[in-house]
Structure 1
Amino acid sequence: MERKHLIAKAEIVFSMAVFGTISIFVRNIPLPSAELALCRAVIAAATLLIWQILTRTMVRFQDIKKELPLLLLSGAAMGVNWILFFQAYKYTSVALATLSYYFAPVLVTVASPLLFQERLTGRQMFCFVMSTLGLVLVIGVSGGAGAGDTAGVLFGLGAAVFYAAVVLCNKGIRNVTGINRTYLQFLASIAVLLPYVLFTGGFHLAELPAKGLASLLVVGVGYTGIAYTLYFSSLRYLKGQEAAILSYIDPLVAVLVSVTVLAESVTWLQAAGGAMILGFTILNELKPKGAA
């Protein structure tokens, strides 16, 4: 079991680090955000279908029919989440888009008592307030952020809302787990995104240059199909808190990529706000001493 645990930790660390560098390739794909999200879902679903065929783990309808509504809802939310997140990249830096996106765990914490009758502790309320103050600094109400930054951060926050919806839906899905759940959510995303793309501008894949097409394949196969497979495989052998803490490798890597690779600027106030969002969200994930 110890060996499996170490492999699981390596898988989640690798997948989170990979997720943190996705912006390098997304920047090279000149497609509308909705079309990019649709292509990502199609390529990833095809990748997972091949994996299921090879491992003989195909989903049976009788196993999912009771939870199909939640699977469809979570998949639709995932598709909208991707659209808004990619849209955030078009308006602001990768660092600010990612930091605002990682407000999602805070939203889950606040929504859980309302939806699942979970008790909200004083510490969780404190973390929520401080993370919200961090978000205010990231948005730049003091005037430090331009209109583009503000729009980008708001798109990132919108993506966080829909990612929180995915997480909350998944709490109610108990009989479909891991890769099968993700595959079905990809299919639901495709079902929602396809008509949206068709009626809001159509397809532009034929216009993609070779570099853009190669980047799209990398995002679909590597960053979505393979990385999601590794991520969900790792969860089987990790404690929830352990997985939650390791997931913050993603925004940390994204910020480093934004500043060092993409040479994007972040003000000191925005950096402080981002540190508050991540710091208090991580604090919220940590169990108090003596807790079960």
Structure 2
Amino acid sequence: MKSVNRAKLDLIIAVTAFGTIGIFVRYINLPSSVIAFVRGAVGAVFLLLLLYFRRTPFRWASVQPHWKLLALSGAIISFNWITLFEAYRYTTVATATLCYYMAPVFVTLASPFLFHEKLTPRKLLCVLAALCGMVFVSGVPQSGLPEAGEATGILLALLSAVLYASDVSINKFLDQVPACERTLVQLAVAALVMIPYILLTEDVAAMTLTPLGAVLLLIVGVFHTGWCYSLFFGSMTYLPAQTVVLFSYIDPIVAIFLSALLLKEPLGWSGILGAVLVLGSTLISELPVRAAAETK
């Protein structure tokens, strides 16, 4: 049986890898929809092979009663990826990642209506702090209103955050479906949804892929999606949800660091303050009440 320490290591590897995906996407010379299709298809095949080599049968009986929600979730995932990958092309990886991490805020705002959860004063204060942080992430206090391209990237990343929040909300109703089967179906549906979308919106015959782009695309599909998703969801079986939430913040920290180091995309004082407000408020919002009280 996997130990807790091994599960933590797997989780760290997965969330660290998630923080690097923006760097890879930047250098793949294909439309975002095609990258999303390959990511879903390769990831689904990888998980299917993983089940096969582990001699674990696919439990269709646990999937069938929830296939409508799984299909909806998979479709949302595909457009979540498209909007995020497009955001990387218009704004910095750091800014897009920080906008994307507004997803917990959107889930918090929707929870009283969807899950009848009480919006406590602490959570409401965290939401307001995160929204204030987004103003700083946009760069308005430092440089004024963003240019059209930058504004487009921010809006696309925020749309991606809304889609991700929607997917998280749907998955709250799918906790009876085993993690591997759930993820496999969602990735397969995401790939299938992209096929007609690509045929209707892209000139497939005119697409070209450089050798570097092909290697990076394969890495995004096999490593970032297939292997890291299996590590991520596998670790959730052995770790408390709170640990998973806390370790997930490695993702944006890595993305911000690599954005500055490799792409020379510094945040500036406005972005740094915004990052502290967005990530800090969402982290505090997820902490148990007792833990939050102990930090005062």
Indicate yes or no: 2:112 matched with 1:100: no
Cα separation, 2, equivalents of 1:235 and 1:207: 39
Aligned mates of 1:259, 1:14 — CA distance in 2: 21
Q: TM-score, normalised by structure 1?
A: 0.95
Which residues of 2 match residues 51-130 of structure 1 at below 5 A?
51-130=50-129
How far apart, CA to CA, are the structure 1 residues paired with 2:271 and 2:38? 32
In structure 2, the partner of 1:45 is 44
Gaps of 5+ in 2: none
Distance 1:203 1:42, change over 3 A: farther
SS in 2 for 1:207: coil
TM-score when scaled to structure 2?
A: 0.94
C-alpha separation in 1, matches of 2:121 and 2:279: 18
Tell me, yes or no, if structure 1 residue 162 matches structure 2 residue 163: yes
* Distance (Å, rounded) in 1 between the aligned partners of 2:170 and 2:124: 22
Task: Give runs of aligned pairs for residues 1-292 of structure 1, distance below 5 A.
Answer: 4-142=3-141, 143=144, 145-203=146-204, 207-289=208-290
Does the residue aligned with 2:140 lie in a helix, a strand or coil?
A: coil
Q: Which stretch of the first structure deviates more once superposed, 245-254 or 49-58?
A: 49-58
1:221-253, Cα deviation, whole Å (9 max, x unpaired) = 001100100000000111111110110000000
Equivalent-residue separation in structure 1 for 2:91 and 2:205 (angstroms): 24
Post-superposition offset of 1:139: 1.9
Q: Deviation of residue 4 (structure 1)?
A: 1.3
How far 1:55 moved relative to its partner?
1.5
Q: Quote the offset at 1:191 in angstroms.
A: 2.1
Distance 1:146 1:270, change over 3 A: farther
Amino acid at match of 1:118: E
Q: Aligned equivalents of 2:173 and 2:205: distance in 1?
A: 37
Distance in 2, Cα, partners of 1:118 & 1:256:
35
Cα distance between partner residues in 1 of 2:152 and 2:121: 32
For residues 39-76 of structure 1, the C-alpha deviation after alignment (integer angstroms, 9 at most, x for no partner) is: 11111111111111111333243321211111111111
Q: Give the 4+ runs in structure 1 shifted more than 6 A.
A: none
Distance apart, 1:202 and its partner CA: 4.1
1:240 and 1:198 map into 2 onto residues whose CA distance is: 40
Gapped regions of structure 1 (runs ≥ 5): none
Kindly provide the amino acid, as one letter, of the partner of residue 106 in structure 1. V
User: Which stretch shows the higher mean deviation, 57-66 or 82-91?
Assistant: 57-66
1:24 is displaced (CA, Å) by 2.3
- Separation in structure 2 between the aligned mates of residue 144 and residue 279 of structure 1, nearest angstrom: 24
Paired residues in the alignment total 290
How many percent identity over aligned positions? 41
**What is the Cα-based RMSD across aligned positions, in Å?**
1.7
